[in-house]
Amino acid sequence: MTTNFTKNILRTVAISMGGLAVAAGAWTAVASPYVPSDTTAITSAVSADLAFSRDEERMARDLYAAIAAQYNNAVPFSTITTSEQRHYDAIRVLLTRYGLPDPSAGKAAGVYANADIQKLYNSLLAQSKISLTEAYKVGVAVENRDIADVKDAMNTATQADIDRVYGNLLNGSEQHLQAFTDATNGILTTHVADGTQGNMNRANSAGNAAGAGTGVGYGTRAGYGMNGTQGNGNGTGICVTP
């Protein structure tokens, strides 16, 4: 697949029709009952995009988790890690739905099938170890690449469910970028989204903010709280059926 910096790196949210369920506050994967009628029509380019997205979403999750652990659970890394897990899971649902192999199968955190993603992960992790300030810059770089990658993939995919997922990944990446940009300017925010059946609950370090999503799935937006204030956010849910 031809990419900007080999697809640049990183896409950032959605699961539907039973793709995720909330049980006792934890996300649990369940089977998706929907089987599209046009699975045989999926192109090699779209297949490659989905495989790449699966690896890059996992890279974002692993990278942010490693940075959070290095800097005493620093925000927004610790909270965005959870969001990246959902992005990663969203791509898994599409891979399963279209009968595509999972490039992350059997791979440990920090190990990727795509050599360019592996190289980028190693480079960004090393940069993040310089200082927390540099780590914030890593977050900005990751999300900027994410946005470019998702837009590129949306221009290739024609399936409604895939486009819908990519649209939510784009929304998530834009919000993550804002959080990391704020952090570089000394404003720390959190980014947490949970919900099911199109209803989202958001929390930040100081409180909760409610939002309503569309479709069946979970929200891609978080409430943002600044300097100990109440968080506010508007949610976007996702339904991956056409």
* pLDDT tens column, 82-119: 999 999 999 999 999 999 999 999 999 999 999 999 99
> How confident is the model at residue 207, as a pLDDT?
29
Rounded to an integer, what distance in angstroms lies between the CA atom of residue 115 and that of residue 13?
Answer: 24
Check residue 169 and give its pLDDT.
Answer: 95
Q: Does residue 137 carry a pLDDT above 50?
A: yes
Strand ranges for 43-99 from DSSP E = none
At 88 the pLDDT is 96
Longest CA span, the chain: 51
For the cut 90, the answer to whether the pLDDT of residue 149 exceeds it is yes
Greater confidence (31 vs 34) lies with: 34
**E strand segments, the chain:** 20-23, 26-29, 194-196, 199-203, 208-212
DSSP-derived 3-state class of residue 23: strand
Cβ atoms within 10 A of the Cβ of 73, count? 11
Element holding 131 (H helix, E strand): none
Measured distance CA(150)–CA(109) in Å, rounded: 23
* pTM, to two decimals: 0.66
Q: What is the pLDDT of residue 219?
A: 36
The span from the CA of 74 to the CA of 69, in Å, is: 8
Tokens representing 218 are 């979970």
Whole-number mean pLDDT of the chain? Answer: 72
Q: Which tokens hold the place of 3?
A: 């990419």
Tokens of 154: 């949306």
**By percentage, how much of the chain surpasses pLDDT 90?**
60
As a whole number of angstroms, the distance between CA 137 and CA 131 comes to: 10
ω before 101 within 30° of 0 (cis)? no
Per-residue pLDDT at 5 exceeds 60? no
Residue 114's identity, in one-letter code, is N
pLDDT at 173: 95
Beta-carbon contacts of residue 26 (< 8 Å; ≥ 6 apart): none
The strand pairing partners of 20, in sequence order, are 29
User: Looking at the predicted structure, is the pLDDT value of residue 187 above 80?
Assistant: yes
Q: Is the pLDDT of residue 235 over 50?
A: no
Contact 3, 152 (CB under 8 A): yes
Closest CA to 89 of 104, 77, 76: 104
| pLDDT above 70 as % of the chain | 61
More confident residue, 11 or 53: 53
Query: In angstroms, rounded to a whole number, what is the distance separating the alpha carbons of residues 127 and 105?
Result: 27
Asked if residues 46 and 156 have their Cβ atoms less than 8 Å apart, the reply is yes
**Has residue 124 got a pLDDT over 80?**
yes
DSSP three-state, residue 196:
strand
Banded model confidence at residue 190, pLDDT cuts 50, 70, 90: low
Is residue 140 scored above 80 in pLDDT?
yes
Pick the CATH number of 34-212 from 1.10.3720.10, 1.20.1260.10, 3.40.309.10, 2.130.10.10: 1.20.1260.10
As a whole number, mean pLDDT of residues 197-204 equals: 27
Identify the residue with better confidence: 1 or 82: 82
Is it the case that residue 176 has pLDDT exceeding 70? yes
Q: State the pLDDT confidence band at 188, using cuts at 50, 70 and 90.
A: confident
